[in-house]
Structure 1
């Protein structure tokens, strides 16, 4: 199984728009990420997002770049301060590849818990638009790759 953990793209500040949708830079970054991922033919059974607008928008843009067998879903338990253990239980019950779009600190905590790292060491910190691909075999998770928008700065749409 592969798990793609994504932090939403850059969002507008609450003072500009209380719903905090993606900013134009955030949308552009996620579109670049999608353009990079599309030829790599990622396939996931589902795409889960937190339900917050910026997370939903990120999931929708990325869904155009991956082969998803089902529609994207808003899932309870993916908000910034939610505990990761209930979601890990859900993940462990699955067999098919999955993409999760969420927020800080949730994505950092989820990734560190799966990789058995010490969160205090900040083993991995997701910038906006960051994506980690984790794989599991026999119950042990490993980081396969990690990508973020600054690495795609030369990519033109």
Structure 2
């Protein structure tokens, strides 16, 4: 069951371009602690560079995943529908045995691909001089800190 939930998270991860939260399994900091963590300009520069790489890798992974689904003769919305039903017992969907077999094969390929992608993302972040934990802290804070969002916007545009 944990594996299925992790896979659902990974698929959603691929389907959302531009996501900054890379490591969903990392425990989240309490809101108060996030707000108290100051982000220096140097850290923010490293974060922006890592984020650019993360976005590129996730975009490539998304394209590869979509290609794998299509090579199995499925449409993306249909795959997502079948997958959602496979991880959520409250979602019912009628699927042919061929669709179920294609879904199972795609999930197997995605699981194989996941470890490599995860390692690639971790290396991108570390190569910028950030720890995975610090990257996640900044990403989490970015979701609610408009000042931090503006600082990043200025760095990207400047």
What TM-score do the two structures reach when normalised by structure 1?
0.27
Larger C-alpha radius of gyration, 1 or 2? 2
Whose RCO is larger (CA < 8 A, sep 6+)?
2
Q: Which has the higher strand share?
A: 1
More helix by share: 2
